[in-house]
A and B are shown apart, each in its own frame.
Chain A
Amino acid sequence: MDTKQQKLVQKVKKETEIKRPVFRNAVKAFFVGGTICLIGQIILEILMKTVGLEKELANAVMVTIMVFLGALLTCLGIYDKIGQFAGCGTIIPITGFANSMASAAIESKSEGVFLGIILNMFKLAGSVIVVGVLSAFIFGTLRYFIGI
């Protein structure tokens, strides 16, 4: 390719930029994400009103149930199909966190329990915990000393 052809490549590269269906994806994410949160809220209400748990405990149990559902759907091979449709609708809720751990663990099953499942579990989810703790440290320090 001479320089003229190289310039041509850059020109066609710009012309053929693939556009994503932003609005359509956002609507799908809205509905699926909203539904997951709705399910969580229903579980929360049942735990508080019917089972009679107090707020903090009910929340912890609700989160545990949602994590369980995320892991289960991942292991049944269903979560990735919903995820393809919903995008962030399934990535952002805590079920997405469970999915990232379960999927990494189950994928590495062929390497055995320790070198596979255990070692690889946090491959994708690790970033969430690191960023979380770092943010808490930075903002916590700011708030503690400067008292925002």
Chain B
Amino acid sequence: MIFLKAFIVGGLICALGQISMDKFKLVPIYITSLFVFLGAALDLFNAYDKLIEFSGAGASLPISSFGHSILHAALEKAEEVGYIGILTGVFNLSAAGIAAAIIFAFFGAVIFKPKG
């Protein structure tokens, strides 16, 4: 079932991050950047697409999918228009996530107060 696979794969990716964080005493900001990098690296071998096929949101929700979709979009555009496509296409697939985060973070901060 896709639901079970999403749960397990998503959980495993998070557990992997947690173990790296605890074993190497890293701060969260290193972990997110590392996973974005890994997501892009896996997309280099088309492996991340297969992971998303297999586990759906289990692979498309973790931040590693951000790295994957950035590289994916860049390469897609590059295939269309040539090398410069790496630059022009880079945000095509991840635009929704970034735009949504900016918009919701902004309005949230305007409306709410920090609680400490």
Contact = CB atoms under 8 A, between A and B. Distances in A.
Indicate if A touches B (C-beta under 8 A). Answer: yes
Contacts of B66: 94, 97, 128, 132
Contacts of A100: 32
- A45, A60, A135, A137 interface centre (most CB from chain B within 10 Å): A135
Given A93-B14, A140-B75, A118 B100 contact: no
A25 B97 contact: no
Interface in B36-78: 36-37, 40-41, 43-45, 55-58, 60-67, 70-71, 73-75, 78
Interface size class of B (residues with CB under 8 A): 35 or more
B73 to A, nearest CB: 8
Nearest to A20: B22
B7 A35 contact: yes
Nearest to B20: A88
B63 A93 contact: yes
Interface in A66-114: 66-68, 70-72, 74-77, 86-89, 91-98, 100-109, 113
Contacts of A102: 101, 104-105, 108-109
Main secondary structure of the interface of A (DSSP, over half): helix
A35 to B, nearest CB: 7
A64 B94 CA distance: 11
B21 to A, nearest CB: 6
A105 B105 contact: yes
Nearest to B83: A144
Contact of A26 (B19, B58, B65): B19
Given A33-B13, A64-B100, A141-B86, A96 B63 contact: yes
Given A30-B15, A44-B57, A60-B96, A92 B31 contact: yes
Contact of B15 (A29, A118, A140): A29
B71 A71 contact: no
B71 A140 contact: yes
Given A37-B6, A91-B17, A105-B108, 6 more contacts: A29-B18, A34-B7, A44-B56, A98-B101, A108-B109, A139-B44
